[in-house]
Amino acid sequence: MNRRDTETQRAALLLALSLSAAAVPASAQQRAAPTDDVDVEVPARAATQPTPTPAQAPSQEPPRASNDELVRALQQRLDRLEARLAEAERRSATTAQATPPTPPTTTTTTPAQSTRDEAPRYAAIGASVVQTTTARPDAYSVLDPVGLVLSGFVQAQYETSQLSQDQLVQGMALNRDRFVLRRSRLRVDGSWRWFAMAFELDANTVRGPVVGVRRAEATFLWRNSGNRAVPWLAVTAGVTEPAFGAELGEGVRRRWFMERTTGSLAFFGGEADIGVRAWGGVGALRYALGVFNGVPLDDRGVQSGLRGIDPSRHLDLSGRFGVDTSAASRSWSVTAGVSFLAGSGFHPGDDGTKPSVEWRDNNQNSMIDAGELVAIAGRAPTPSFTFGRWAVNADVALRVRTRAGTTRVFAEATMATNLDRGVLAPDPIATGYDVRQLHGVAGFTQEITQYGIVGFRWDIYNANSDLFEERRGALEPKNQSVHTLSPLVGLTWPGYARLVFQYDIVLDALARDARGIPTDLANNQATVRVQGDF
Amino acid sequence: MRRSSACALALVAAIVASCGVPSPLGLEEPIRVERAMLVSDLATRDSSTTAITAFENPSALVAHQQRGKLVSGRATRDAFAVAMRLQNRGTGYWVLPLSTPDPSANDELTFEAMLSFAGDVTPGPAVAEVRAVGRDGVAGPASFFPLCLLGPIPDNLNVCDPSLAPPLLVVSLGWDTDADLDLEVELPDGRRIGPKRPSAGVAGAIDIDAGASCRHDGARRENFVVADAPLLGRYRVYASLFDACGQSHVYTRATVHRRALGAREGTFSQAETARADAQLTAFNVGAGERGAQLVLEFSLP
């Protein structure tokens, strides 16, 4: 029973008591005392019981008590009912505190869910019925031992970019004005008392038609005694999210912004990796610790020529420790945490080459002249090497629910070394020095009732904080920072569909002005996305 | 309040509209410069002291669709970049930052540029225009350097110097994709010139085996060249698809070019006298001479 229902019943109760006090004050005293039923609907039933009419009262009741006595008796009864109502609200709040914040979606309660509170805990475990729900399954879906749940969503969009050209470079099309099926997911979640599983397929057309596994995980659960509380311990293995930062685990279905920030995409080309993760919570404290291959699975498909992959046997260790106060209050919550990652990168060796001959047309007459044939000796194979990479991260988010809607303010920062695997993958073996990366993001979203959304996000990513370039014979610092300002506006039909427009203003130093000095490149982009859920 | 809102909206609109400098690839340009930026609205001031002081071009000849032509030079010490283009061609200047100073030349700033030329640029004489760009982003006076842009058909430099006589006969076969296509010419005496026998002595020879073994050299053209003494009679031109290299089909065009007299005495020109198109599919691969497709027939004289 939610808070609004409780308040409605409370008002009805007081109104009924007032009316009965005005109409038949004596009859209330003779009514049997209510049983010790915690169901808050009891007073409402009492208020709706047939009451004698004023005309009948004089012949059926003993002599009237004084008005003061009546008022006192009614006041006592009102106090008792108030106390019972407060107790019922307290118990209801205790249950609600264990519930994590849910997205602003309309939940279609299934029969199994509707009886969950009345039945003994886990009584329904083992009822492996396939059901669909608009409640988004996410990392907390294992909190409900509801059997199997089928869900999915589709994100289709039109995107346009100032970078778009009708040209090919290295076989890659530069046109970015197009319709794209960004994601279409089909997911099966299963959750029982001790175990849970999830399997999710994705199909998209970002880099051509691609179908792949986005999630395939099995989880052992040591559940918290509180209903729907975060488990004491959960161990998840398979294709799942690494434990690092807040943005990575935000969930593509729930996130309002189109994509993760540039820095997050550089560190993790995809949200999923293969490994094992232990996670859980005690009260407001949260923890997650995982070991992964260190090769995020990019759901957009394989990008040819991408460096930064790590086929070595060294694993990446990552973790996040933080707090989540969403269980303490439904009106506001704070989520914060610190994360770390330690792992290794890979410098590939090569297989060696055969001797060869090269022609260098020194005098550019398109003919082989003396001295223009150069012998190139064969090279021996070179070994591969690994190098270290690490990152630290801090994130904080504040969520406030008001009559206007839910406001969320968030910020996150990451400092890393050699972690870029998607934008400018460093190779300290080749360059001889470690490459530092810096990433930061801040923003807010404001829901307007439950049907609208506005938001703004700023993020910065510096792929190499120590880069220099030579200009006019002098080494000048080369700014690699990319700032992105992303306002968005959208409409939503909770639980069913979204329509979101986002404009990305990208500020960088990737172009050059007439003096040859780096300046901002015209590479803003806009996206209109339609999302359908089931 | 209304005014502040309007100002805020105007500011946002200005940021969105003026954000950034476009960076076109410039693949449509007649010339491209590696690591340089195409600037379409470069301001120039011929009275500026910022100037090019030296320009080195190993050869004025530019092969058809040549890539990686290296030129170098120096600019005055107050210059920031060098801008270059083909005079009166293209849509802008390629701007390249200047590099290290040259101690042997009063510390003038040096540059090296790798030039690439488009395949559809009109063959003939051309002029490279080079300017130095100063601190204020304005380019100084232009320096001009002559070039000779050669075409795809061998002409003995006739396109740049009409007094030079082009070959008497050129049979050219060009195609549209990276496939190993071979030109075969049946001479009037019955000999068949092709990749296995590319030369008939003074009766002509095929210049290269383009795309051999599916090596993507970008040439996509083979020429049968007769310099001075062609055999008289009937010629047959075949296209033989040795390897489709993964392509489903190839469009090809055969042309015949013959020497002609120029408009002025003592000059020559090269005229196209015949052409024919054909399409070969991957099914034509591997049939050898029997599978070669006849594209064109012509007779001399």
Q: In angstroms, what separates the C-alpha of B161 from chain A's closest C-alpha?
A: 16
CB nearest B25 (choices: A169, A362, A473)? A169
Q: Check whether residue B124 and residue B40 sit in a common domain.
A: yes
Provide CATH code, domain A122-347+390-533.
Answer: 2.40.160.10
CB nearest A471 (choices: B21, B97, B135)? B97
Kindly tell me if the per-residue pLDDT of A478 is higher than 80: yes
The average pLDDT across A294-311 equals 73
Residue of B nearest to A517 (CA): B97
Residue of A nearest to B64 (CA): A366
Which residues in B lie closer than 8 A to residue A516 (C-beta atoms)?
37, 80-81, 95-98, 133
Cis peptide before B301 (omega within 30 of 0): yes
The average pLDDT across B129-149 equals 93
Q: Check whether residue B14 and residue B101 sit in a common domain.
A: yes
Query: Are the Cβ atoms of B21 and A523 closer than 8 angstroms?
Result: no
Kindly tell me if the per-residue pLDDT of A146 is higher than 90: no
pLDDT digits 0-9 by tens, A258-280: 999 999 999 998 899 999 999 99
Are B229 and B202 in contact by the 8 Å Cβ rule? The answer is yes
Burial class (CB in 10 A: 0-12, 13-18, 19+), A94: exposed
Cα B35 to Cα B15, B41, B112, B113, B299, distances in angstroms: 28, 19, 10, 8, 50
Kindly tell me if the per-residue pLDDT of B262 is higher than 90: no
A:B CB pairs within 8 Å: 104
Phi/psi region, residue B275 (left: phi>0; alpha: psi -120 to 50; beta: rest), is: beta
Query: Are the Cβ atoms of B19 and A520 closer than 8 angstroms?
Result: yes
Q: Does residue B135 lie within any of the structural domains?
A: yes
Instruction: Give percent of chain B with pLDDT exceeding 90.
Output: 58
Kindly tell me if the per-residue pLDDT of B58 is higher than 90: no
CA dihedral B205, B208, B212, B217 (to 10 degrees): -160
- Within 10 angstroms of residue A207's Cβ, the number of other Cβ atoms is 14
Mean pLDDT taken over chain A? 79
Q: In angstroms, what separates the C-alpha of B71 from chain A's closest C-alpha?
A: 11
Residues 6+ apart with CB under 8 A from A442: A410, A411, A412, A457, A458, A459
Are A255 and A422 in contact by the 8 Å Cβ rule? The answer is no
Total domains in the fold of chain B: 2
Kindly tell me if the per-residue pLDDT of A101 is higher than 80: no
Query: Are the Cβ atoms of B98 and A516 closer than 8 angstroms?
Result: yes
pLDDT digits 0-9 by tens, A456-469: 999 999 998 788 88
Which residues in B lie closer than 8 A to residue A169 (C-beta atoms)?
25
CA–CA dist B285, B179 (Å, integer): 11
Query: Which residues of B lie inside 8 Å of A (Cβ-Cβ)?
Result: 15-16, 19-25, 27, 37, 39, 42-43, 58-59, 61, 63, 69-70, 80-81, 83, 95-101, 109, 133-135, 137-139
pLDDT digits 0-9 by tens, A155-202: 999 999 998 888 887 777 888 999 999 999 999 998 888 999 999 999
CB nearest B42 (choices: A363, A514, A524)? A514
Q: Check whether residue B144 and residue B247 sit in a common domain.
A: no
Q: Check whether residue B138 and residue B187 sit in a common domain.
A: no
What DSSP line would sit under B66-78, residue for residue? -EEEEEEEEE-TT
Residues 6+ apart with CB under 8 A from A168: A174
In chain A, where are the structural domains located? 122-347+390-533
Q: pLDDT confidence of A516, banded at 50, 70, 90?
A: confident
Residue of B nearest to A474 (CA): B100
The average pLDDT across A312-326 equals 92
- pLDDT, residue A22, reads 41
Query: In a mutagenesis test of the A interface, which of B12, B15, B19 is the best target, namely the one with the most A β-carbons within 10 Å?
Result: B19
Q: Does residue B154 lie within any of the structural domains?
A: no
Residue of A nearest to B27 (CA): A167
CATH number at residue B116: 2.60.40.2550
| Chain Cα centroid distance, residue A450 | 18
Q: In angstroms, what separates the C-alpha of B236 from chain A's closest C-alpha?
A: 30
Query: Are the Cβ atoms of B16 and A516 closer than 8 angstroms?
Result: no
Query: Are the Cβ atoms of B21 and A520 closer than 8 angstroms?
Result: yes
Burial code (b: 16+ CB inside 10 Å, e: under 16) for A348-360 equals eeeeeeeeeeeee
B284 φ, ψ (degrees, to nearest 5): -80, 0
Query: Are the Cβ atoms of A505 and B16 closer than 8 angstroms?
Result: yes
Q: Check whether residue B125 and residue B32 sit in a common domain.
A: yes
Residue of B nearest to A504 (CA): B16
Q: Check whether residue B205 and residue B79 sit in a common domain.
A: no
Q: For residue B190, what are the domain limits?
A: 169-300
- pLDDT, residue A95, reads 52
Q: Tally the C-alpha atoms within 13 A of residue B119's C-alpha that lie toward its C-beta.
A: 8
Are A317 and A290 in contact by the 8 Å Cβ rule? The answer is yes
**In this structure, which amino acid lies at residue A300?**
R
Q: pLDDT confidence of A306, banded at 50, 70, 90?
A: low
Q: pLDDT confidence of B13, banded at 50, 70, 90?
A: low
Kindly tell me if the per-residue pLDDT of A39 is higher than 50: no
- pLDDT, residue A137, reads 43
- pLDDT, residue A45, reads 39
Which residues in A lie closer than 8 A to residue B42 (C-beta atoms)?
514
Q: How is the beta sheet containing B192-193 ordered, strand by strand?
A: B192-193, B180-186, B233-243, B293-300
A458 φ, ψ (degrees, to nearest 5): -120, 135
pLDDT digits 0-9 by tens, A403-455: 889 999 999 999 999 999 888 888 888 888 899 999 999 999 999 988 999 99
CB nearest A473 (choices: B22, B100, B138)? B100
Are B96 and B51 in contact by the 8 Å Cβ rule? The answer is no
Which residues in B lie closer than 8 A to residue A473 (C-beta atoms)?
98-101, 109
Q: Does the global pTM surpass 0.80?
A: no
Burial class (CB in 10 A: 0-12, 13-18, 19+), A347: middle
What value of ipTM does the predicted structure carry? 0.74
Query: Are the Cβ atoms of A174 and B24 closer than 8 angstroms?
Result: no
Q: pLDDT confidence of A141, banded at 50, 70, 90?
A: low
- pLDDT, residue B292, reads 85
Instruction: Give percent of chain A with pLDDT exceeding 70.
Output: 75
Q: In angstroms, what separates the C-alpha of B247 from chain A's closest C-alpha?
A: 15
Query: Are the Cβ atoms of B137 and A167 closer than 8 angstroms?
Result: no
Query: Are the Cβ atoms of B81 and A516 closer than 8 angstroms?
Result: yes
What DSSP line would sit under A208-270, residue for residue? BSEEEEEEEEEEEEE--SSTTPPPSEEEEEEEE--S-SSSTTS-TTT-SSSS--HHHHHH-SS
Q: Check whether residue B136 and residue B180 sit in a common domain.
A: no
Which residues in B lie closer than 8 A to residue A522 (C-beta atoms)?
19-23
CA–CA dist B203, B224 (Å, integer): 10
Tokens of A81: 């009912």
Q: pLDDT confidence of B289, banded at 50, 70, 90?
A: low
CB nearest B95 (choices: A510, A512, A523)? A512
Tokens of A486: 């992303």
Question: What is residue B202's DSSP assignment?
Answer: G
- Please tell me which of A294-298, A316-320, A363-367, B13-17 the model is most confident about, judged by mean pLDDT: A316-320
CA dihedral A299, A304, A308, A314 (to 10 degrees): 70
Of B149, B181, B202, the residue that ends a domain is B149
A143 φ, ψ (degrees, to nearest 5): -70, -20
Q: In angstroms, what separates the C-alpha of B234 from chain A's closest C-alpha?
A: 33
The least confident of A37-46, B88-97, B229-238 is A37-46
Mean pLDDT taken over chain B? 88
Which residues in B lie closer than 8 A to residue A521 (C-beta atoms)?
20-23
